[in-house]
Amino acid sequence: MISLFWENLRISLGSIFGNKSRSILTALGIVIGVLSVTLMGTLISGLDRTFEKSMSFLARDVLIISRMDWFGGDMDWWELRNRPRIKEDYVEQLREKSQFVAAVAPMAERGGSIIRGDKRIDTRFFGTTPEYMATNESADVITGRYFTDGENRSGARVMVIGGDVADALFPDEDPIDKYVKIGSHKFRVVGILKKQGKFMGMFSLDNQAVLPFGTYQRLFSRRGWMNVRVKVNTDNYDEAKEEIYGVMRQLRGLKPLEKDDFAINQSATMEAQYKAIKLAIGGTGLFITALSLIVGGIGIMNIMFVSVKERTKEIGVRKALGATQSMILGQFLMEAVLICLIAGLVGMGLAGGLSLLINQFFPSSMPVGLAIGSIILSVVIGIVSGLVPSYQAARLDPIDALRYE
């Protein structure tokens, strides 16, 4: 059977490359189909990995108490707007009233520019306490130091900057103990944060600066956002969340029937949201892709019918020389599979190239499983769409086929 396999391969290649433009047009549908399958898969898996990496800065055991839900909820916007702000004394109250608090820190946040001589960078700065480090595992000072409780209390003008800020303002000097300005306020840089990369590949987590909470309050007062970060001391996140909910409702002075006017966010909410988005993208993509593959498969089937018709006489000759039905079937099936396989490889190559290009803006690289899967898919399409024409060829009556002109 080995020699027959090579013969069939040879015939198929001859037929495919003997009708180049026809083969290219036929294969195009499959190329596009496989291209969209693999590209879609590549993007989703890139999204997945980015998401996982980005989620590490939002550890599962961290709850973030804010005015708003990260993902809308079903509140009207005016109701949301009228929610009272999160107050800084919740921090100590939570520590006192909740048994699940391992560490808790306020997070006041606003945007603005930091200036050093003729250099400036638009960034976000946070006012928080030294305890913040205990609530955020991925935050780490690599050069210099973090500010102290004393500095926090006294409102010292010190600052810990993210990697992007350091790169932008201090391209060729050591930032430690140098001075920068926010508006007219002068700050001394005491430390640099470890780089964390981009969140979902979109915005940099390193473009930030951290100030003592006391300093932030004195200089920027109530402007900007305010959250409270709580790291819990248990694996039972639901229980902890439940209890902190109660404490927060009490702090907000809510009566039993009143609606929440705050939100407790955590990576799990983000995860759920992300999964929903992924499903939507994946589902739509899959539908479109399946459609293009079906169209591609129909194209292959059509061209195989033409090929069988054109070669009716050849089929007759081959049968006269002793080819069995299964040998003829194999010959045409091989041709259909080969077109699809080549088209699949081309589609995959294009997807690989495109994902390299996209990788410049958004992390994406093709997983091996996906590559193997799309090759198998191409072969399956080849078999499915080639089966009926090949069967027709195999069943031809040798005499009728020989007579065919």
Partner 1 sequence: MADLISLKEIKRHYDVGGELVRALDGIDLTINHNEYISIMGPSGSGKSTLMNMIGCLDTPTEGVYEFEGELVHEMDDNQLASIRNRKIGFVFQTFNLLPKATALRNVEVPLIYANMAKNDRIEKAKKALIAVGLEERMHHKPNELSGGQRQRVAIARALVNDPSIILADEPTGNLDSKSGIEIMKILDKLHHAGNTIILVTHEEYIAEHADRTINLFDGKIKEDRQTKKRKRVVT
Q: Taking the complex as a whole, how short is the minimal distance between the CB of residue 32 and partner 1, in angstroms? A: 30
**CA-CA distance, 29 to 36, in Å (whole number)?**
11
Residue 399 lies near partner 1 (rule: CB under 8 A): yes
Tokens for 18, please give them. Answer: 């003997």
Residue 313 lies near partner 1 (rule: CB under 8 A): yes
Residue 3 lies near partner 1 (rule: CB under 8 A): yes
**CA-CA distance, 123 to 164, in Å (whole number)?**
9
**Nearer to partner 1 (CB atom), residue 229 or residue 319:** 319
Q: Taking the complex as a whole, how short is the minimal distance between the CB of residue 12 and partner 1, in angstroms? A: 12
Number of residues that bind partner 1 (CB under 8 A): 22
Residue 14 lies near partner 1 (rule: CB under 8 A): yes
Cα-Cα-Cα-Cα dihedral sign, residues 142, 148, 152, 158: negative
Which stretches does DSSP call E strand in 34-137?
Answer: 62-66, 101-116, 119-128
Residue 134 lies near partner 1 (rule: CB under 8 A): no
**CA-CA distance, 217 to 155, in Å (whole number)?**
8
Residue 142 lies near partner 1 (rule: CB under 8 A): no
CB atoms within 10 A of CB 396: 18
**CA-CA distance, 384 to 339, in Å (whole number)?**
13
Stretch that binds partner 1, among 81-89, 181-189, 247-255, 314-322 (CB under 8 A): 314-322
**Nearer to partner 1 (CB atom), residue 137 or residue 314:** 314
**Nearer to partner 1 (CB atom), residue 8 or residue 267:** 8
Measured distance between the N- and C-terminal CA atoms of the chain, rounded to whole angstroms: 31
Residue 318 lies near partner 1 (rule: CB under 8 A): yes
* 225-232 vs 62-66, strand pairing mode: antiparallel
* 62-66 vs 263-265, strand pairing mode: antiparallel
Tokens for 62, please give them. Answer: 């961290």
Binds partner 1 (CB under 8 A): choice among 324, 365, 372, 376: 324
**Nearer to partner 1 (CB atom), residue 16 or residue 210:** 16
Quickly list DSSP for 2-16: HHHHHHHHHHHHHHH
Q: Taking the complex as a whole, how short is the minimal distance between the CB of residue 399 and partner 1, in angstroms? A: 5
Binds partner 1 (CB under 8 A): choice among 4, 28, 80, 268: 4
Stretch that binds partner 1, among 84-92, 138-146, 279-287, 316-324 (CB under 8 A): 316-324
Binds partner 1 (CB under 8 A): choice among 241, 314, 375, 391: 314
Please give the distance of CA 94 from its chain centroid, rounded to a whole number: 35
Residue 402 lies near partner 1 (rule: CB under 8 A): yes
Tokens for 91, please give them. Answer: 């921090």
Binds partner 1 (CB under 8 A): choice among 136, 220, 319, 336: 319
Stretch that binds partner 1, among 44-52, 148-156, 199-207, 394-402 (CB under 8 A): 394-402
CB atoms within 10 A of CB 204: 17
Please give the distance of CA 315 from its chain centroid, rounded to a whole number: 52
Residue 320 lies near partner 1 (rule: CB under 8 A): yes
Which chain residues interact with partner 1 by CB under 8 A? 1, 3-4, 7, 14, 18, 313-314, 316-325, 327, 398-399, 402
